[in-house]
A = this chain, B = another copy of it.
Amino acid sequence: MRRSPTIADVARAAGVSKGTVSFALNDRPGVAPETKARILAAAAELGFHPSHRARALSHSRAFALGLVMARPAELLGADPFFPAFIAGVETELAKVGQALVLRVVTGGWDEEAAGYRQFAEDGRVDGVFLSDLRVGGDPRLALLEELRLPAVTLQPPDASPFPAVALDERTGIRAAVEHLVGLGHRRIGHVTGPQEFVHGRGRRDAWRDALAGLGLPPGPEAAGDFTAAGGADATRRLLRDGEPPTAIVYANDLMAIAGITVAHELGLSIPGDLSITGFDDTELAGHVHPPLTTVHMDALGMGRAAARTLLRLVESGSAESIELPPTELVVRRSTAPPRSGGASLPPPRAEHPRSSS
């Protein structure tokens, strides 16, 4: 069982003290060039790598950032955001030798709070990412302040002591609405995300504002929860309406795809009878039937920006918020001009409902 070499081994091999080795390896002044070369050679020779644990202890830092993923279990596998976000975070962290520590909580708020609390008390991370901000004062903000744990929020909440990485979702949603209106739609519904979340609320507001901005009356909306099942239910409610919309803007792709399915099952053709737009631009969006017009969201870029911001915050005690490039609409084939007279459900019990072209 060969022990990996320590700084003392290097010092012995180079004939200097531990302190000098430390200075040499960290490029600090006060080490003679030839000494430094000798030390570096010895370190390379021995295959020395500084112990992360020891550095963490003496620096009183973890050299790691934390992410608490709070999601109901059934949504975890379907959520496209976290994996891409994590990938973005990691590319930045790997560059600077830091690590990402993950916690998954599927329970409620108590469990989530315990997650952050443990991160702070154990000193496992130097800062955390805060996703899924809640409107009206997210309780985690106060918690993290109490715990003195630096944080970066994804999307700016109502009020926050922390820097935010903001992704302009409004532009993409507005583009979707304008695209639909340009096709001739006038009655455009929305299947929302949970309204207690900043992003759920923000997307709904963007949809409302876009309609209002075009001088159109408010459209019908149905509450979704970002799950496929929730999206399907919401879609049924919208379509059962006496005057159903000719187009529906969904708060995410998962619900939109479930919505397409519901429409099919009701015998509606997409986009002939009903136009549909999503949000996220998941990999599947381009491969469902019909391919989904949706708003592209750069979760990876968000991860990178958030990581850079949080690193800076941890390092220097302050960091500025970042505004990412606005989201863009990706037009595919789930949107088209409405049938004249708007969508209407086909006669009940249709044996051979029309399909999309």
0 or 1 for each of A32-63: is its CB under 8 Å from B? (1 = yes)? 00000000000000000101111011001010
What residues on B are CB-neighbors of A94 within 8 Å?
103, 115, 118
Whether the pair B49, A53 counts as a contact (CB closer than 8 A) is: no
Whether the pair B90, A52 counts as a contact (CB closer than 8 A) is: no
Q: Known interface pairs A53-B62, A254-B283. Does A83 touch B87 (Cβ–Cβ under 8 Å)? A: no
Closest to A125 in B: B99
- Of A7-15, A72-80, A166-174, A340-348, which stretch is located at the interface? A72-80
Task: Give, as a whole number of angstroms, the nearest-CB distance from A335 to chain B.
Answer: 17
CB within 8 A of A282: which of B78, B82, B124?
B78
Copies of this chain held together in the complex = 2
CA distance A353 to B81 in the complex (A): 36
| Interface residues in A, total, Cβ within 8 A | 72
Beyond the given A74-B283, A94-B115, A352-B354, please list 6 additional residue pairs across the A-B interface where CB-CB is below 8 A: A73-B84, A75-B283, A79-B83, A228-B283, A257-B284, A261-B287
Whether the pair B103, A102 counts as a contact (CB closer than 8 A) is: no
Decide if A277 is an interface residue (CB 8 Å cutoff).
Answer: no
Decide if A229 is an interface residue (CB 8 Å cutoff).
Answer: yes
Whether the pair B103, A90 counts as a contact (CB closer than 8 A) is: yes
Closest to A283 in B: B78
CA distance A73 to B121 in the complex (A): 34
* Complex A-B, nearest 3 residue pairs according to Cβ-Cβ distance, in ascending order: A355-B355, A77-B80, A78-B283
What residues on B are CB-neighbors of A260 within 8 Å?
289
Whether the pair B78, A257 counts as a contact (CB closer than 8 A) is: no
